[in-house]
Amino acid sequence: MRVQGAIWETRSDWFNSVGREQRIKEYITLANQLIWQRQASFFAAAILAAVYFNPISTFAFYIVVALTELLDQSLGRHSKAWDGKDPVVGRHILKRIALNTTVSALAISVFIVNIAVQQESGGHFTPLFFLFSASLFAVMYNSQMVGILMLRLSIYSVAFLSIAFLDVLRFSPPLNSDIWLEFFTIIFVLYFIIDISAKFYVRYQERLDQMKLIKEENKRTKAALEVKRQFLATVSHELRTPLTSIMGSLDLVNHGALGEVPEKLKPVIGIAAKNGRRLADLIDDLLDLQKIEAGEMEFHFEPINVNDLINEAVESIAGYADKLHIRVTTVPCLRDYLIKGDRTRLMQVMNNLLSNALKFSEEGGVVEVRAENLGARVRISVHDEGVGIPKDAKERVFGKFTQVDSSDVRKVGGTGLGLNISKQIIQRHDATIDYVSELGVGSTFFIEFDRLRDSEDESPDIAPVAEVA
Ligand code: ADP
């Protein structure tokens, strides 16, 4: 009793070792996955043996082998419910694996030795080859659990040696005969099987260790990302508050609320206000990005009239367009089509597309905002005749903190975050954003939404051009 207890204590140590549930689960999953492959080879072997040897005993033993498969199937079902945590259930599964392995290895061995016994004399190529294949199959697919593999291989080894000794006992041949040669060859093959099973086991162990390392690395990366996220959120927040009061004070000075601003001071205050706005934009973008990535950005979806959306967006940017001497035209849909969206967030996207179109256009240029019905979809596009975007720059255009022209000669400012944020907002609308562009000719950025259905005709239409700014 004490000995049995000791065995299970050792088992229990093994059981508490890293990756034990994974080993058991992988073992059982693989055993169940390979059932047809295993059955096909057993069946082929049985047919072959039945043709050349006694078919009745061959099929009788084959049926026993096939029945042991049922044990594996029932174990597979049983272990599916195991969450990998309860060690009592785990130990029970382990015992059953050991039992199934013993029964199945014994059945296969008897099936094969029976063939060898029926052979008149030496050269037991067929049964030995069957046994070799079964051993190799076990080595390849059972290396997750070295104890179980060893159990199976020990039973096969007894079968190997029984076949090897069969003719030695039958014929008591001299040491220089073929029978002894065959005997020593079998010993060599046994050594080979044990050697490769050790190698397979070591490989499997290495794979487990690597997976453990990757998991730990993944955990550390996640923790570092969380620290970065919190740092960004705090810094952005702490910067936003004083900046708002600086900008407010500058506004008061600028509008003469504190008295006439001396001419000499005006440009300095202008520069301070401009840079303050840039900083505020950057902080807003950072806060948005952090919110979106943390899944904390709230969306309030409602039906939105696409024509209203483009008009509103163009109106809100009109002042900026005037300042740059750029004309903005709109081409609305003939009918008022609806999409489902968050008005504030879509205005943010439109604002980003429009301000990009304006800032990358030359003075005197034209920007066109168009709404189109494409049947089940609605497209809003913002077209400019500006600098254009080189080919293969899509990743940079929609990337984080990336700009196509990041050189020192860059004329226009920006954070390189706008389109990344826009893309994430658009994706939350189950919509798409993309562009076509030609360097030196211009760009068209477009967003496409599913259209909300209504009872009227759905044919595509385009309205005449209306000039807005
Ligand atoms: P930024 O704040 O730099 O404008 P965005 O994410 O909005 O950041 O845009 C990323 C980059 O894509 C821009 O820096 C610019 O190089 C390119 N880009 C965006 N829109 C246009 C456009 N209409 N014409 C030319 N280049 C554009």
- pLDDT on residue 427: 95
Concatenate the DSSP letters of all residues of 67-119 into one string.
Answer: HHHHHHHHHHHHHHT--S--HHHHHHHHHHHHHHHHHHHHHHHHHHHHHHHHS
pLDDT of residue 255: 81
DSSP secondary structure of 226-272: HHHHHHHHHHHHHHHHHHHHHHHHHHHHHTTTTSPPPTTTHHHHHHH
Question: Does residue 7 or residue 90 have the better pLDDT?
Answer: 90
Residue scoring higher pLDDT (164 or 461): 164
Show the CA angle centred on residue 408, arms to residues 405 and 409, nearest 5°. 75
Residue-level pLDDT at 468: 44
148 has pLDDT over 80: yes
Q: What is the mean pLDDT of residues 207-228?
A: 91
Q: Which of 39-53, 160-174, 332-346 has the highest mean pLDDT?
A: 332-346
What is the structure's pLDDT at 15? Answer: 45
**Three-state DSSP class for 466?**
strand
Q: Rounded mean pLDDT of 97-123?
A: 87
395-448 pLDDT, tens digit per residue, is: 999 998 877 765 444 456 677 889 999 999 999 999 999 999 999 999 999 999
Neighbouring residues of 279: CB distance < 8 A, sequence distance ≥ 6:
239, 243
For residues 25 and 84, what is the distance between their CA atoms, to the nearest angstrom?
8
Q: Quote the pLDDT of residue 207.
A: 86
361 within ligand 1 shell (Cβ under 6 A)? no
Choose the residue to mutate in 397, 437, 444, 445 for probing ligand 1, maximizing ligand atoms within 8 Å of C-beta.
397
Model confidence pLDDT, tens digit, residues 18-38: 567 777 877 877 777 787 888
What span, in angstroms and rounded, lies between the C-alpha atoms of 407 and 410? 6
- Backbone phi, psi, residue 63, to 5°: -60, -40
Ligand 1 atom 20: residue of nearest CA: 356
27-55 per-residue burial string, b: 16 or more CB within 10 A, e: under 16: bbeebbeeeeebeeebeebbeebeeebee
Q: Inform me whether the pLDDT recorded for 193 exceeds 80.
A: yes
The span from the CA of 451 to the CA of 104, in Å, is 62
Residue located nearest, by CA, to atom 2 of ligand 1 = 414
The CB of 419 under 6 Å from ligand 1? The reply is yes
Q: Positive or negative, the Cα torsion across 87, 90, 92, 95?
A: negative
For residue 207, the one-letter residue type is R
* Whether the model pTM is above 0.85: no
Which string of b and e fits 218-254 if b means at least 16 CB within 10 Å? eeeeeeeeeeeeeeebeebeebeeeeeeebeebeebe
Of the residues 348, 356, 387, which should be mutated to test ligand 1's pocket, given the most ligand atoms within 8 Å of the CB? 356
Q: Is the predicted pLDDT of residue 229 greater than 90, yes or no? A: no
Please, are residues 144 and 177 in contact by the beta-carbon 8 Å criterion?
A: no
Percent over 90 (pLDDT), the chain: 35
pLDDT band at 455 (very low <50, low <70, confident <90, very high): low
What's the whole-number average pLDDT of the chain?
84
CA dist., res. 362 & res. 245, Å (int): 34
Domains of the chain: 2-172 (no CATH), 302-468 (3.30.565.10)
C-alpha of residue 315 to centroid of ligand 1, in Å: 21
Q: What is the 3-state secondary structure (H, E, C) of 292-309?
A: HHCCCCCCCCEEEEHHHH
pLDDT value, residue 9: 40
- Cβ of 382 less than 6 Å from ligand 1: no
The alpha carbon of 233 and the centre of ligand 1 are apart by a number of angstroms equal to: 24
Q: Where are the alpha helices (DSSP H) in 327-385?
A: 343-359
How many angstroms separate the CA atoms of 430 and 186, rounded? 66
Q: Which pLDDT does position 405 carry in this prediction?
A: 67
Please report which confidence band the pLDDT of residue 122 belongs to, taking 50, 70 and 90 as the band edges. Answer: low
Q: What is the DSSP letter of 363?
A: T
pLDDT per position as a tens digit, 273-290: 888 888 888 888 888 888
**CB-ligand 1 contact for 386 (6 Å cutoff):** yes
Nearest alpha carbon, ligand 1 atom 14: 403
415 lines ligand 1 (CB under 6 A): yes
Instruction: State if residue 326 touches ligand 1 by the CB under 6 angstroms criterion.
Output: no
pLDDT at 441: 93
DSSP 106-130: HHHHHHHHHHHHHSSSS--HHHHHH
Is the shortest distance between the CB of 404 and ligand 1 below 6 Å? yes
